[in-house]
Amino acid sequence: MISRKPCTLRLWDKINSGARKNGLFRDKDSVVLAVSGGPDSVTMLDFFAKQARRRRLNLVIAHLNHKIRGKEADRDEAFVKKLGQTYGLETVTARTDVPALAKKLKTSVEHAARLARYRFLTKLALKKRFHLVATAHHADDHAETFLLNLLRGTEPKGLLGIPVKRTLHGKGAAKVSVIRPLLPVTRAEIMEYVKANRLPHRKDKSNEDEKYRRNWLRKTLLPLIEKKQPRFKAHLAELSAKLGRGDVASYLPD
* Residue-level pLDDT at 245: 63
Where do runs of H (alpha helix) occur along 69-163? Answer: 71-87, 98-105, 109-128, 139-152
Residues 169, 140: Cα–Cα separation, whole Å: 26
pLDDT at 56 over 60: yes
* Residue-level pLDDT at 68: 87
pLDDT at 38 over 50: yes
User: Which residues have C-beta within 8 Å of that of residue 209, sequence separation ≥ 6?
Assistant: 215
Domain 4-249 coded CATH 3.40.50.620:
yes
Residues 223, 225: Cα–Cα separation, whole Å: 5
Summarised one tens digit per residue, pLDDT across range 180-195 is 999 999 999 999 999 9
* Residue-level pLDDT at 250: 44
pTM for this entry? 0.89
* Residue-level pLDDT at 1: 64
Nearest to 147 by CA among 216, 211, 204, 205: 216
How does strand 132-134 pair with strand 91-95? unpaired
Mean pLDDT score, 64-79: 92
Summarised one tens digit per residue, pLDDT across range 209-237 is 677 778 888 889 888 998 999 888 888 87
Catalogue the long-range contacts made by 154-159 (C-beta closer than 8 Å, 24 or more residues apart): 155/252, 156/243, 156/248, 156/251, 156/252, 157/252, 157/253, 159/239, 159/240, 159/243, 159/248
Summarised one tens digit per residue, pLDDT across range 120-152 is 999 999 999 999 999 999 999 988 888 888 887
| Terminal Cα distance for the chain, rounded | 47
Summarised one tens digit per residue, pLDDT across range 144-200 is 888 888 887 777 777 778 889 999 998 777 899 999 999 999 999 999 999 999 999
Q: How far is CA 146 from the centre of its chain?
A: 15
Note whether 161 and 143 are within 8 A (CB).
Answer: yes
Mean pLDDT score, 92-115: 93
pLDDT at 254 over 60: no
Compute CA distances 243 → 48, 125, 163, whole Å.
30, 31, 12
Looking at every residue in the chain, the average pLDDT score rounds to: 89
Report percent pLDDT > 90 for the chain: 63
